């Protein structure tokens, strides 16, 4: 694969699947994998699609498609999936898109674009799913970058006052290891 391909791209339904994606990105960063995660809060006029397209077309070594009932039908996530599958086909990348099944969507309802791909299951436990994903990307030879850390993930996540504690909580668990799923915080 091209040396410029140095990112693990996390495609998901934003904002519905953000909690899982933050956790996943912090855990991947803890292992040394550079991660692209789009959680920006758009204010108006931004062209985020050009950045996303550039990342998928030219920088992604793998695209992790967070498969949920929401992402299965959400237009933005499906656009990212279609582009990733086109890139895989044009460049003949093997296992470029890896679906991560995070909820109880039935296999009969999975979007036709993902139906033929084996999904890594996170629905019974995030830790178990993450261990399987790590094994897969290690076997596929995805390169680590020791310069990329959970702090880099936090710097790309816009932390709002009411979510700041929650992100630090996730970072703490990612730094300790992939122990347990973060608990939902109650807004006060």
Q: For residue range 20-69, what is the model confidence (pLDDT) as tens digits? A: 999 999 999 999 999 998 876 555 676 788 889 999 999 999 999 999 99
Asked if the model's pLDDT at residue 8 lies above 70, the reply is: yes
Contact 113, 79 (CB under 8 A): no
Please give the pLDDT value at position 41. 54
User: Domain-by-domain residue ranges, the chain?
Assistant: 7-176
Asked if the model's pLDDT at residue 172 lies above 60, the reply is: no
Asked if the model's pLDDT at residue 168 lies above 80, the reply is: no
pLDDT tens digit sequence for 115-136: 899 999 999 899 999 999 999 9
Assigned CATH class of 7-176: alpha beta
Range 123-129, long-range pairs (CB < 8 A, 24+ positions): 125/181, 126/20, 126/23, 126/24, 126/178, 126/180, 126/181, 127/178, 127/179, 127/180, 127/181, 129/100, 129/102
Please give the pLDDT value at position 188. 33
d(CA 74, CA 70) in angstroms, rounded, equals: 6
Please give the pLDDT value at position 48. 82
Contact 7, 153 (CB under 8 A): no
- Read off the pLDDT band of 159 (50, 70, 90): very low
């Amino acid at each position: 694969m091209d040396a410029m391909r140095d990112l693990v791209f996390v495609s998901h339904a934003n904002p519905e699947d953000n909690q899982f994606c933050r956790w996943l990105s912090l855990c991947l960063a803890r292992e040394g994998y550079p991660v692209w995660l789009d959680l920006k809060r758009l204010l108006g006029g931004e062209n985020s699609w050009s950045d996303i397209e550039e990342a998928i077309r030219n920088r992604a070594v793998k695209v992790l498609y967070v498969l949920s009932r929401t992402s299965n039908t959400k237009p933005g996530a499906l656009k990212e999936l279609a582009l990733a599958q086109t890139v895989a086909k044009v460049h003949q990348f093997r296992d470029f898109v890896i679906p991560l099944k995070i909820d109880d969507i039935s296999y009969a309802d999975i979007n036709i674009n993902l139906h033929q791909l084996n999904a890594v299951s996170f629905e019974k436990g995030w830790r178990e799913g993450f261990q399987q994903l790590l094994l897969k990307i290690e076997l596929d030879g995805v390169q680590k970058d020791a310069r990329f850390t959970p702090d880099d993930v936090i710097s790309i996540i816009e932390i709002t006052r009411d979510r700041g504690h929650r992100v630090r909580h996730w970072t703490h668990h990612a730094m300790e290891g992939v122990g347990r799923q973060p608990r939902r915080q109650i807004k006060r």
